[in-house]
Amino acid sequence: MDSFYGQQPWLLDRLDREGFIYIADVPGDTRGWLERPEVGVPTRKGERGRHPTRERVIEGEPVEVRKLAEELPDDAWNHIFLRDSERKEIWR
């Protein structure tokens, strides 16, 4: 799928839950985690303001996917044939 759908976390999570194998283009500045981070409703800071109600990432720092890709050794990549196009074969 193209980068529009590759930027939709709800879609990618759903595909993972359903057990689909997929290929999605994502921009290089997309941030993600190597392992699922700890999430929860954070504690309120101070006495003023609303109490937090939404879950957030509590622990874990995201990393840009371009940095992850740069750190991988060459043998970590698998090139697969996607399809024929009018000009040539498309491999990723």
CB atoms within 10 A of CB 62: 12
26, two tokens: 């994502």
Answer whether residue 18 shows pLDDT above 90: yes
pLDDT at 54: 92
Q: Are 92 and 82 in contact (CB under 8 A)?
A: yes
User: In the chain, pLDDT over 70 holds for what percent of residues?
Assistant: 100
Averaged pLDDT for residues 15-33:
90
48-70 pLDDT, tens digit each: 888 989 999 988 889 999 998 89
Averaged pLDDT for residues 10-19:
93
HEC assignment per residue over the chain:
CCHHHHCCHHHHHHHHHHCCCCCCCCCCCCEECCCCCEEECCCCCCCCCCCCCCCEEEECCCEEHHHHHHHCCHHHCCCCEEEECCCCEEEC
Q: Are 41 and 57 in contact (CB under 8 A)?
A: no
Is the pTM of the predicted complex or chain greater than 0.85?
no
pLDDT at 2: 87
